[in-house]
Structure 1
């Protein structure tokens, strides 16, 4: 598995991790300390703690639904574009889909811009 695939898979795992302590440990491993996340609902979440809190809120909203990787559309230099789906665990069924653009720095994710 390439580094890009590994990081994207780990990143989606952050969104699926319900245990806050485990989620925080993965965030520290995968994202830079100065990481920024934005999507249509969030203008710019800065740092590990803020992202973890937002994900905890999302779990309340999404219930048992999980994120899965759709397709890595492309990657070049320090940027990648991929699709994801949100749906019941163990299925390819999707109740939501989207695209994320991620930027890398030092072997970790520095910025995520999500579209859904």
Structure 2
């Protein structure tokens, strides 16, 4: 578990082409993976794909990028991320905790939101 996994994960969140996004999701997530955060709770790559597509529609022109280092041990890692326009201060900052299977793919991702814009 390294920054490569986080890079693959964020690539899935940033890929806007449907086919390429699906490939990125299948690289980063196990088929029955669960993703849960304060706004979503989905299971399986189809549901994760639909969730990501929805987030991309909600935040057009924005990208996810790592914030800081990955902290990992055993089959668990945590990392911070930012969402915002390329090259600008992130509008949203959060952190995720992911559990990884023996193939190096995420089985669970639990997201937390540290900074969100006011409504």
TM-score by length of 1: 0.92
Pair 1:113–1:88, CA change in 2 (3 A):
same
Indicate the residue corresponding to 1:11 in structure 2: 9
Between the two proteins, the alignment pairs up a number of residues equal to 112
Matched, 1:66 2:66: no
Q: Is the 8 A contact 1:101 1:114 kept in 2?
A: yes
Whole-Å Cα distance in 2 between the matches of residues 11 and 21 of structure 1? 16
Q: Is the 8 A contact 1:36 1:112 kept in 2?
A: yes
Whole-Å Cα distance in 1 between the matches of residues 91 and 14 of structure 2? 15
Whole-Å Cα distance in 2 between the matches of residues 24 and 50 of structure 1? 11
1:78 aligned residue (75, 79, 88): 75
Indicate the residue corresponding to 2:90 in structure 1: 94
Unmatched 5+ residue regions in structure 2?
114-119
TM-score by length of 2: 0.89
CA-based RMSD of the aligned residues comes to 1.1
Indicate the residue corresponding to 1:32 in structure 2: 30
Pair 1:92–1:70, CA change in 2 (3 A):
farther
2:106 aligned residue (75, 100, 109): 109
